[in-house]
Amino acid sequence: MTHRIAVSARTAPEPSEEDGGAAEATAAEESSAALASEDTGIGDLDAAADTETAGDAEAAGARTASRSVLRMLLRPGRSAVGAALIVVVLAGLSAAAITLGLAHRASDRVGDQDLAVLSAARQGVVNLISPSAKDPTASANRIAADATGQWLAEFRAVKDKFVGAIDESKTDSTGEILGAGIEHHNPDGSTTVLVTAVSKVSNSTGAKDDPRTWRLRVDVVDEATGYKLSKVEVVP
């Protein structure tokens, strides 16, 4: 049986209607510009993934999703106001989701395995969105330690470039989970989890604790060494 639960964290202050409208327009324009540009280390990351990870159309799509995650980690800081607005929206969704989750649990308790899966997904995402130029190699090792299968292969292919890009851009990021919920259990034994999070990013391009929002879909598998992330993708 599929369980759907969510856990909420604190919300950010709600901006005014006037600021909200301007922030939405700014966020949309800057998001398009960010995805269209090549930031520090991104070109090398893409090239490394294309060269070292072979596969069919499905694998190519997975590589694109993975590079989207890495690109978001490394792109220069954008509008803090626009990002803050998204945080408010995501936190609101998380609050609504927890209400539904509590109602669901009233008739069907969450098993210990699901709680362990959610904990692994949350910790894996926190490690992923919290790289530090103080020790970029340790940051990369934490990401790899949480990974297995497809995601581990994809990250290993760009790990050295990732470390170099974090060091060169002097990126320091601290992540916080806003909410997490199980989307579905898969026939192969993995569990798909949706995670919303926010990170505060500082880097050499001028970002100073700029908020960056995340909505990720991750697959979690149970291995002998513990629960690991086998797939990571950005949810539009």
Does 162 map to a domain? yes
Domain count within the chain: 1
The predicted pLDDT at position 112 comes to 86
Question: Is 81 part of a structural domain of the chain?
Answer: no
- Is residue 17 one of the residues assigned to a domain? no
- Cβ(5)–Cβ(182) under 8 Å? yes
- Give pLDDT, residue 122: 96
Supply the range of the domain harboring residue 183: 106-234
Is position 132 within any domain? Answer: yes
- Whether 87 is covered by a domain: the verdict is no
Alpha-carbon separation of residue 1 from 6, 116, 178 (angstroms): 16, 16, 25
Query: Is residue 54 one of the residues assigned to a domain?
Result: no
Cα–Cα distance, 161 to 146 (Å, whole number): 19
Q: What is the pLDDT of residue 71?
A: 65
Look at residue 150 in the predicted model and tell me its pLDDT.
Answer: 92
Residue 4 domain flag: no
Query: What is the domain-level CATH number for residue 134?
Result: 3.10.450.230
Judge whether 77 lies within some domain.
Answer: no
Flag residues of the chain having pLDDT under 50: 1-42, 48-49, 51-55, 62, 76-96, 98-100, 102-103, 106-109
pLDDT in tens, 162-211: 999 999 999 999 999 999 999 999 999 999 999 999 999 998 888 888 89
Contact 231, 150 (CB under 8 A): yes
Integer Rg of the chain from CA: 18
Q: What is the pLDDT of residue 222?
A: 96
Give the H or E element holding residue 169: helix 149-169
